[in-house]
């Protein structure tokens, strides 16, 4: 990874979150340095270029996976991107704007923020956005494991985590709000937002990467798509991808990749928990036109 982007950092806290307007946000350096109001105003006012791509995803929905796929499609090379999405090209982490401005070609900015908090001019100009999401149950289990052992994070049991953070999710305005805002944005878009579900990418990888290449308006061949699939396989990414979890984990070991499967939630949810979340989902999403897959057979 490019040395000027990957700086050596001391382990930093991952919790508690910062509260702002009824929502909570991870305590990343910029929000601590500037305060939440200025931090989020800077993001909203940030001037992206017309050929920049925003990769907007809920946490633990395959951000790093899709980031690498987009990078390879844009560069036409099956090489891992030298600028990790959780560093300077993550909107919530954006600090060294001078270095970011020096980058040539389309830049890939990642974010977990909802549509209403994205760079305003990017939206007004209808520049490209890739919207990535994952079923709430698998995503919740994945996030639970990702947070384990992070500096400042409580030693939650799964039951405690479920009650405190799954049923009462406020992080990045909450999964329900994020999903509703992005679904509405896709509905009102003129083709500049590409919706992509994690489960669809797992089940029909080639089809969805090909459609993504068409959306990005880049040339491709069947052989190239197959090479991208191989390089971005779960096994290869797990062995080659360095990530931000190394600076919020005392032992500096990456906890980004775990299983990457559909349906692992069944190993964690009790019958009661499943019923509770189903009831909450139907209440929150009753008027939202979106469907998720929760197992391979769907």
Specify burial of residue 14 (Cβ count, 10 A radius: 0-12, 13-18, 19+): buried
177 CB-near residues (< 8 Å, 6+ apart)? 114
67 CB-near residues (< 8 Å, 6+ apart)? 55, 81, 85, 108, 110
Selecting among 39, 64, 83, 112, the annotated active-site residue is: 112
CA distance linking residue 134 with residue 11, whole number of Å: 29
Q: What angle do CA 52, 54, 58 make, to 5 degrees?
A: 170
204 CB-near residues (< 8 Å, 6+ apart)? none
Residue indicated by tokens 């069947």: 222
Let me know if 122 is a catalytic residue: no
Catalytic residues: 112
């Amino acid at each position: 990874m490019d040395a000027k982007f990957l700086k050596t950092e001391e382990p930093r806290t991952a919790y508690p979150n910062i509260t702002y307007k009824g929502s909570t946000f991870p305590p990343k350096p910029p929000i601590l340095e500037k305060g939440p109001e200025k931090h989020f105003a800077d993001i909203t006012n940030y001037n992206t270029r017309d050929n920049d791509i925003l990769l907007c995803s809920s946490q633990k929905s395959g951000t790093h996976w899709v980031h690498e796929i987009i990078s390879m499609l844009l560069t036409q090379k099956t090489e891992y991107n030298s600028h990790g999405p959780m560093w300077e090209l993550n909107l919530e982490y954006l600090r060294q704007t001078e270095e970011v401005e020096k980058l040539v070609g389309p830049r890939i900015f990642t974010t977990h923020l909802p549509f209403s908090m994205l760079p305003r001019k990017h939206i007004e100009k209808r520049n490209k956005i890739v919207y990535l999401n994952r079923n709430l149950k698998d995503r919740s289990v994945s996030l639970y494991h990702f947070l384990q052992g992070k500096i400042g994070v409580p030693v939650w049991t799964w039951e405690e985590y479920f009650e405190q953070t799954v049923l009462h999710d406020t992080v990045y305005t909450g999964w329900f709000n994020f999903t509703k805002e992005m679904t509405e944005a896709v509905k009102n878009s003129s083709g500049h937002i590409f919706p992509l579900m994690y489960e669809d990418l797992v089940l029909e990888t080639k089809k969805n990467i090909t459609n993504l290449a068409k959306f990005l308006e880049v040339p491709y061949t069947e052989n190239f798509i197959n090479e991208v699939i191989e390089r971005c396989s779960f096994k290869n990414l797990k062995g080659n991808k360095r990530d931000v979890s190394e600076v919020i984990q005392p032992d500096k070991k990456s906890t980004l990749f775990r299983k990457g499967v559909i349906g692992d939630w069944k190993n964690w949810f009790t019958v009661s928990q499943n019923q509770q979340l189903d009831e909450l989902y139907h209440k929150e999403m009753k008027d939202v036109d979106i469907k998720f897959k929760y197992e391979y057979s769907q």
